[in-house]
Amino acid sequence: MRPLIRSPRHRLTALLATAGPRRRLVALLLAAPLALHCGGSSMSQLKALVRASFPGVPQMSVEELDRRLGEDPQPLLIDVREPFEYEVSHLPGAVHAQGKDIAEVIAEVEPERPVVLYCSVGYRSSAAVADLIQLNDPEIGNRVWNLEGSIFEWANSGRPVYQGPEEVDRVHPYGEQWGRLLEPHLRP
């Protein structure tokens, strides 16, 4: 007998927990903007959906990353968004990489250096971390995290974002609906 699932949000979370990667992506891409449009989704709900979609992916909070950026060795930050998103702004010291290039970038740095991937809200970067973990390479899989809430949560919490070496006060919104998760002053 299937457990009683009371709300649409709980049904979506249950679907995401049992669906394959493609189905999870479709569900998230359809549900999140609709919920945002209706005023029903928040960053905390979206983070819960991402965690449910990628239960094996280690998540690092923006507070933890901020702390670790003051340590040695500093984490390597990899922005997995599209190049045009990265060009608007990125986290301090971040490099841009996508697809197969991500593993190559990680392989070039010291094996003791932690690696944190991020995107707009954490879905694309969680998918990338999941792909890295599936490589079964202990030099890579044991030291990668997703930045939970990603650049949206980082910037919304008042932490700096950069365009090249210059600090800026904007983040690419990824789309009108997704941009509603950004504080208004951060939207271009």
Q: Are strands 144-147 and 59-60 parallel, antiparallel or unpaired?
A: parallel
Tally of CA atoms within 13 A in the half-sphere of 18 that contains its CB: 5
At position 79, the amino acid (one-letter code) is D
Query: Is pLDDT larger for residue 49 or for residue 28?
Result: 49
Q: Are 124 and 152 in contact (CB under 8 A)?
A: no
Among 131, 153, 121, 151, residue whose Cα is nearest residue 49:
121
| CATH architecture group of domain 59-186 | 3-Layer(aba) Sandwich (3.40)
Q: What is the pLDDT of residues 141-180, one digit of tens each?
A: 789 999 999 999 999 999 999 999 999 999 999 998 889 9
Query: Quick count: other Cβ atoms within 10 Å of Cβ 127?
Result: 21
Cα distance between residue 178 and residue 91, in whole Å: 19
Cα distances (Å, whole numbers) of residue 62 to 28, 42, 116: 22, 17, 11
Q: What is the pLDDT of residues 100-115, one digit of tens each?
A: 899 999 989 999 999 9
In the chain, where the domains are located:
8-53, 59-186
Burial (0-12, 13-18, 19+ Cβ within 10 Å), 126: buried
Given a cut of 50, is residue 92 above it in pLDDT?
Answer: yes
